[in-house]
Amino acid sequence: MDFGIVLGLLGGLALFLYGMQMMSSGLEAAAGNRMKNILEKLTANRILGVLVGAGITAAIQSSSATTVMVVGFVNSGMMTLRQAVWIIMGANIGTTITGQLIALDIGQLAPLFAFVGVALVVFFKKPQVHHYGSILAGLGVLFIGMEMMSSSMEPLREWPAFVELVSTFSNPLVGILAGTLFTAVIQSSSASVGILQAMAVSGIVGLDTAVYVLFGQNIGTCITALLASIGTSRNAKRTTVIHLMFNLFGTAVFTILTMTTPLTDLVASFTPGSPDSQIANMHTIFNVVTTLILLPFGQQMVRLAMRILPDRRESEAEGMHLAYLVPGPTLTRQEHPIGFSAMYVNQLRQENNRMLSMARQNVDLAFTAVLACDPKRLEKAEETEEYIDFLNREICRFISDVIVNETNEQDSTAISAYYLICGNIERIGDHAINICEYTQLLKKKNIRFSDDARDELHRMQGVCLEAISALETEPGADVQGWLRDLASYEQRIDDMTIEYRDSQLDRMRTGVCSDEGCIIFSELLTDFERIGDHVLNIAQQRAAVAEASD
């Protein structure tokens, strides 16, 4: 085989995949937050859900990308498993648009699309225009790559060994396996179907040979979502099972129909002189018919997925872990092309709330330990503090990976805010440990606080817990009102600190408070006042997130 053919194929495939990447990146930057809102509002209805899934996939030219996005949304709790079913069905329909566009031969306009897109990026300063330019340029590059692959394949029809290899695809099992493996390797059914169309245009394969490869390509496209589900929640994994079930069912039905009926002849008769249209039409019929068959059985598919992956009790011995974020190589834009930032913002919020809940528990435990003069509780507090420190490190590492790829200004603001929130929560945990450590001195020196001091400690504990609990609520529509409420807690803590220092001085003058007891109580007041400061810092950052998302 001529080495130039291989280079042409690889170069064309590279341009095809890069064009898809440019399109999805532009769409993510232009409409990442809107995509989240659309999904939340329209996926409750199965028909609308299918249409939304098809529309998103048609826009970004990748069912794998849509399914991976859905896996992430289910994992973060932004979407239910039942809503995900309709999106997945729609995604399988939307992915056929690429093949239809190729068959329409609009590739002749590809250089124009690329030129207009690049011009928008180069000659305009407005970021939103740049995003639309990326979408257009990506579309142009995609079709230029397609044309390059088609041209490079033409000599292959004269190469006997390759023709003999392709002829084995007429065996259903071999064809399905070949389509599955190839699509799994390049992780794009749109690209693999495009290559199959290029082979058909070059005269290498006919519809009767290509049809089984086409069915296998629908199975192979599931590999991207399967990889993305590693380390996610049980429901997120079930989403990928539903995606796989859909394509396995469709492949089984259409393989039987192809072998027992003149289906391929019927489809070929629609566009007799256009082999790429024949493949595009078969791909569309496969996914539309499979969706129509399975549409009434969405709930049954959910139940079957839950039986395949039943609920399991989380082991307490699981150790420290991130409950909502998925660390590792899946953080790149290539893995989560669209909607990824909105998904991560939601996951960061959930993980931050989890961390804040631990800090609140430690504050409660610390004051209780001081009031009981019980240093044994310090060990429990230190275990929780170690977990808080772990979460702080992992969340900050996650944010540093995500923010490199972030192009959406609103989500960038939110992600930066959660980075600052993490640090403030960690500092609340530190002050809780400081308070709890005072029990060691109290026990060692046999110090007992007066009744008045104990009453003040009770009040400090109560206002700290109220403030942190208020932080755990959502700001809602009245963000500034919510922030004022949190600011009032911080002011109340400041006022209490001043009042209790004055009371402490009075106790010192009357001799009620010992010297060592006064020192400990004074340090404790400092920690109390600092907790209020960090509460206000967190509230201000959460308000910034809420206002940025409006």
CATH classification at residue 433: 1.20.58.220
Are 292 and 372 members of one domain?
Answer: no
Residue 401: other Cβ atoms inside 10 A: 16
What amino acid occupies position 243? H
Of 539, 538, 534, residue with least CA distance to 434: 534
Residues 348, 275, single domain; the answer is: no
Does 447 fall in a domain? Answer: yes
Residue 228 in any domain: the answer is yes
**Residue 325: inside a domain:** no
Are residues 289 and 379 both part of a single domain? no
Q: Which of 537, 368, 540, 544 is nearest to 465 (CA)?
A: 368
Q: How far is CA 315 from CA 76, 254, 319, 518, in A?
A: 20, 43, 9, 45
Residue 493 has pLDDT above 80, yes or no: yes
Residues 163 and 87 in one domain: yes
Quote the pLDDT of residue 156. Answer: 62
Quickly state the pLDDT bin for 301 (edges 50, 70, 90).
Answer: very high
As a whole number of Å, the CA-based R_g of the chain is: 30
Percent of the chain with pLDDT over 70: 83
Whether residue 403 is found in the same domain as residue 283: no
Which two tokens mark 8?
């042409």
Distances (CA, A) of 473 to 17, 124, 177, 195, 538: 43, 42, 51, 52, 12
Same domain flag for 210 and 346 = no
The candidate with the shortest Cα–Cα distance to 228, out of 15, 74, 97, 411, is 74
Specify whether 283 is located in the same domain as 344: no
Q: How far from 249 is each of 221, 293, 294, CA to CA, in Å?
A: 14, 10, 9
**Looking at the structure, do residues 213 and 350 belong to the same domain, yes or no?**
no
Residue 262 covered by a domain? yes
326 within domain boundaries: no
Instruction: State residue 234's pLDDT score.
Output: 81
Is the CB of residue 42 less than 8 Å from the CB of residue 313?
A: no
What is the average pLDDT score of the chain? 82
Q: Over range 246-270, report the average pLDDT.
A: 92
Q: ∠19-113-20 over CA atoms, to 5°?
A: 15
The band of 290, judged by pLDDT with boundaries at 50, 70 and 90, is very high
Q: What is the dihedral of CA 454, 457, 462, 468, to 10 degrees?
A: -160
What pLDDT score does 86 carry?
A: 87
For the chain, what percentages of helix, strand and coil (3-state, to nearest 5) are there? 85, 0, 15
Q: What integer pLDDT is reported at residue 539 of this predicted model?
A: 95
Name which of 218, 219, 213, 220 is nearest 171 in CA terms: 213
SS3 489: helix
The verdict on 74 and 32 lying in the same domain is yes
303 and 366: one domain? no
Are 424 and 374 within one domain?
A: yes
Torsion region of 122: left, alpha or beta (phi above 0 gives left; psi -120 to 50 gives alpha): alpha
d(CA 188, CA 21): 11
Domain of 427 in residue numbering reads as: 340-549
Q: Pick the last residue of a domain from 307, 325, 348.
A: 307
The candidate with the shortest Cα–Cα distance to 191, out of 170, 164, 221, 166, is: 221
Q: Is the pLDDT of residue 515 over 50?
A: yes
pLDDT tens-digit series, residues 495-504: 999 999 999 8
Measure the CA–CA gap between 498 and 171, rounded to whole angstroms: 85
Q: What pLDDT shows up at residue 312?
A: 63
Whole-number pLDDT of residue 316: 40
In a domain, 319, yes or no: no
pLDDT of 327: 52
Answer yes or no: is 209 within a domain.
yes
Domain check: are 44 and 85 in the same one? yes
Residue 232 has pLDDT above 80, yes or no: no
Minimum mean pLDDT range among 254-263, 270-279, 414-423: 270-279
Which has more pLDDT, 504 or 28? 504
pTM over 0.95: no
State both tokens at 334: 């290539």
- pLDDT tens for each residue of 309-361: 887 654 443 568 888 776 543 444 444 445 566 677 878 888 999 999 999 99
Domain closes at, from 257, 284, 307: 307
* Domain end among 307, 328, 359: 307
Q: Which residues of 429-461 are buried (b: 16+ CB within 10 A; e: fewer)?
A: bbbbbbbbbbbeebeeeebebbeebeebbeebb
Residue linked to tokens 């250089």: 111
pLDDT at 405: 64
**Nearest residue to 12 via CA among 116, 153, 190:** 153
Residue 249 near residue 92, CB atoms below 8 Å? no
8, 152 in Cβ contact below 8 A? yes
CA distances (Å), 166 to each of 157, 161, 175, 432, in order? Answer: 10, 9, 9, 69
Cα end-to-end distance, the chain, whole Å = 58
| Cα separation, 425 vs 427, whole angstroms | 5
- Establish if 85 belongs to a structural domain: yes
Count of domains for the chain: 2
CA distance 258 to 92: 20
Q: Give the confidence band of 547 by pLDDT, cuts at 50, 70, 90.
A: confident
CA 343, CA 406: separation in Å to the nearest integer? Answer: 12
